[in-house]
């Protein structure tokens, strides 16, 4: 049986693999990749032996920072983030779910002060089983990860 890649290999950059199926576009928005001049390859709902379905993002000529990698965990807790050099994995970036995130998300509570005044958002992040919850520091409302938008 011949094995083929669904998404082309890259020579240098970052590969975010094993993204929860359907979350790739949220990660693109989170990292502002749509504004990038770098070549971005996105694969969605690809077959995975481990997960059934997965998404993948390949970013040529850019290495993610540790903070960026940790922010991804909110949308893809089981993602693997690899640094690629000469078409090979050079390094795996270790990640952990951040405890707090500033400026990344928009509180959807219309009565929150962040909706009225120019205040940077601040959310506490907790994981309850497979659920990731975000609590707004200002209005104390709790949101499921899928309810909230990146800024």
Question: CATH number of the domain that 135 lies in?
Answer: 2.30.30.20
The confidence score (pLDDT) of residue 104 equals 84
The confidence score (pLDDT) of residue 62 equals 95
Instruction: Write the CB contacts of 23 (distance below 8 Å, at least 6 apart in sequence).
Output: 55, 75, 76
Mean pLDDT of the region 60-79? 92
Q: Is residue 1 part of a domain?
A: no
The confidence score (pLDDT) of residue 5 equals 61
Q: What is the pTM of this model?
A: 0.84
| Least confident window among 3-17, 48-62, 68-82 | 3-17
Do 44 and 16 lie in a common domain? yes
Token pair 């990660």 in the structure block, residue: 27
Q: Which of 72, 93, 114 is the last residue before a domain boundary?
A: 93
| pLDDT tens, position by position, 98-146 | 999 998 889 999 999 999 999 999 999 999 888 899 999 999 999 998 8
Q: Is residue 2 part of a domain?
A: no
Do 64 and 104 lie in a common domain? no
Count how many domains the chain has. Answer: 2
Residue 52 belongs to domain with CATH number: 3.30.70.140
Mean pLDDT of the region 8-27? 93
Do 24 and 50 lie in a common domain? yes
Do 28 and 85 lie in a common domain? yes
- CB-CB contact of 84 with 12 (8 Å): yes
Do 25 and 67 lie in a common domain? yes
Let me know the angle formed at the C-alpha of 143 by 134 and 55, rounded to the nearest 5 degrees: 75
């Amino acid at each position: 049986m011949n094995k083929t890649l669904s998404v082309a290999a890259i020579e240098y950059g970052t590969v975010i693999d094993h993204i929860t199926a359907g979350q790739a576009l949220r990660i693109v928005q989170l990292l502002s990749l749509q504004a990038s001049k770098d070549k971005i390859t996105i694969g969605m709902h690809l077959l995975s032996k481990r997960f059934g379905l997965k998404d993948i993002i390949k970013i040529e000529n850019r290495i993610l920072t540790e903070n960026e990698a940790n922010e991804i965990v909110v949308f893809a807790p089981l993602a693997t983030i690899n640094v690629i050099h000469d078409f090979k994995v050079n390094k795996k970036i270790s990640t952990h779910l951040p405890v707090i995130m500033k400026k990344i998300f928009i509180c959807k509570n219309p009565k929150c002060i962040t909706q009225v005044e120019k205040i940077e958002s601040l959310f506490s992040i907790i994981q309850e089983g497979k659920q990731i919850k975000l609590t707004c520091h200002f209005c104390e409302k709790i949101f499921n990860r899928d309810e909230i938008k990146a800024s």
